[in-house]
Amino acid sequence: MNFIAQVVWIFPKFDPIYLFYIFLMGVAAFVYVKVMNYLQNKQTSVVNHWVEFQRYASARKCNQLELNILHSFYDHLNDDEREIYLLPENRNKLKNALYRYFLKSNANTTEREVDLFDKLFRSGVEFKKEILSLNDLTVGEVAALEADGREELTYVMQKTTDELLLSIKGLSKDLLVPGKEAKLYVFRPSSGGYLLEGSMTRTNESGVIFHFNGKIERKGESHLMLTEKLSITVAPWPPPDEKKQVLELDKNKLLLTEENIDKQLEVLKRIAKDQKEHNEKRFEIKDNPKPFITLSERLSDRGILFTFPVEISPEIWKQQDLWEVSFGFENGPNFNIRAKMMPTKQKSDLYLLRYVDADETVRKTLYEEIRKRGGIREVLT
């Protein structure tokens, strides 16, 4: 007798609880997808917020170090704050939040914080103003109070023709001494830093009165230039490696081999065609970047304007990324600085060498040499 025929097949009954399990699995899958999308969108939103913030700061002439400071500030904000502060109508909220952040942080110099405030929040009209008196300061302007060899962040709450009421939030109590001599550091992106000399005449729980004595000293980011011509030597950097000389091929002596004969024949055909059509310029060998000596038109602590000597093609600036410029002053130091070369917008025969590796010591030394020789306000473009 067939054993299989004797087996009684019992099929499981469909229990309603299975529907509940299927429902739970669907809910779990739905929640998982939603959570992953939320996290992904959140991360994308954070990146986009920073990109927008960075674009705004770059448009306000913030340099890379200042962008790094802003990135640290941005990282400590929550998501809602990041979105709110990006709105143009909330610039004051951004300013207040950044000020509170700087009061709690000791990671940056006070002067750099003042510079950053001025670049971010100065209006277009005020952007180019110089500081000639207290009239050129604005209520709400962030500044640095310097006394006893220290610098601490403050801001202008009120002003008269010769006095300022400064906020004492964040100021050390031992600085708030009536009669103490002090200086107030302010900044303008177009002309640099300024030190206003004076003293603290009165202090109370709301602020300190700074009495301005009329003396203003330039400091910091101002740039000067020399218009007298100075001999400069410009060379490709890094220098060409003699062991890696490029072979110059004669177009009339092309080497034909079994491996590339078809390709070379095509080249020969194109050469013959262009020669027939008098299109020899296609095969002119471009000037290789090489050292040359010329005269500066304007020389500053940030770059040099110059013209190419007649024997050098201006097109070589396109063929080399970095150049080393060497020059010296009579009875003064010599400089060797790496720079990027580019044409200027105003005159086609003027080119700019913009320094890329001059550290603060080099810049200050160069600035002093230019100042001693009667340098004027820098204009490089």
- Assess whether 63 and 77 both reside in one domain: yes
Prediction pTM value = 0.48
DSSP 317-334: GGG-SEEEEEEE-TTS-E
Boundaries of domain holding 102: 49-108
The answer to whether residue 42 is domain-embedded is no
Going from the C-alpha of 179 to that of each of 117, 147, 182, 203, 217, the distances in angstroms are 29, 11, 9, 10, 21
Please give the structure tokens belonging to residue 268. Answer: 């020969």
- Assess whether 67 and 159 both reside in one domain: no
The pLDDT score that the predictor gives to residue 249 is 42
The pLDDT score that the predictor gives to residue 21 is 64
Q: Evaluate whether 183 touches 196 at the Cβ level (below 8 Å).
A: yes
- Assess whether 350 and 232 both reside in one domain: yes
Q: Evaluate whether 50 touches 74 at the Cβ level (below 8 Å).
A: yes
Domain containing residue 177: CATH number: 2.30.110.10
The pLDDT score that the predictor gives to residue 220 is 55
The answer to whether residue 304 is domain-embedded is yes
- Assess whether 229 and 344 both reside in one domain: yes
- Assess whether 208 and 231 both reside in one domain: no
Q: What is the count of structural domains for the chain? A: 3
Tell which of 171, 194, 220 closes a domain.
Answer: 220
- Assess whether 179 and 95 both reside in one domain: no
- Assess whether 213 and 327 both reside in one domain: no
Interval 293-338: pLDDT, tens? 999 999 998 899 999 999 888 888 888 889 999 999 988 899 999 9
DSSP 48-100: HHHHHHHHHHHHTT--HHHHHHHHHHHHTS-HHHHHHHHSGGGHHHHHHHHHH
Cα 263 to the center of its chain, rounded Å:
47
The pLDDT score that the predictor gives to residue 368 is 86
Tell which of 63, 81, 108 closes a domain.
Answer: 108
Q: What's the DSSP call for residue 245?
A: P
- Assess whether 163 and 136 both reside in one domain: yes
Interval 230-275: pLDDT, tens? 999 999 988 765 444 444 444 444 444 444 455 555 656 665 665 6
The answer to whether residue 303 is domain-embedded is yes
The pLDDT score that the predictor gives to residue 257 is 43
Interval 6-27: pLDDT, tens? 655 665 665 666 666 666 776 6
- Assess whether 325 and 232 both reside in one domain: yes
Tell which of 108, 143, 175 closes a domain.
Answer: 108
- Assess whether 149 and 229 both reside in one domain: no
- Assess whether 87 and 151 both reside in one domain: no
The answer to whether residue 3 is domain-embedded is no
Domain containing residue 304: CATH number: 2.40.10.220
Please give the structure tokens belonging to residue 34. Answer: 């939603």
The answer to whether residue 276 is domain-embedded is no
- Assess whether 230 and 342 both reside in one domain: yes
User: What stretches in the chain show pLDDT beneath 70?
Assistant: 1-23, 26-27, 29-30, 32-48, 123-128, 190, 220-222, 240-287, 345-348, 377, 379-381
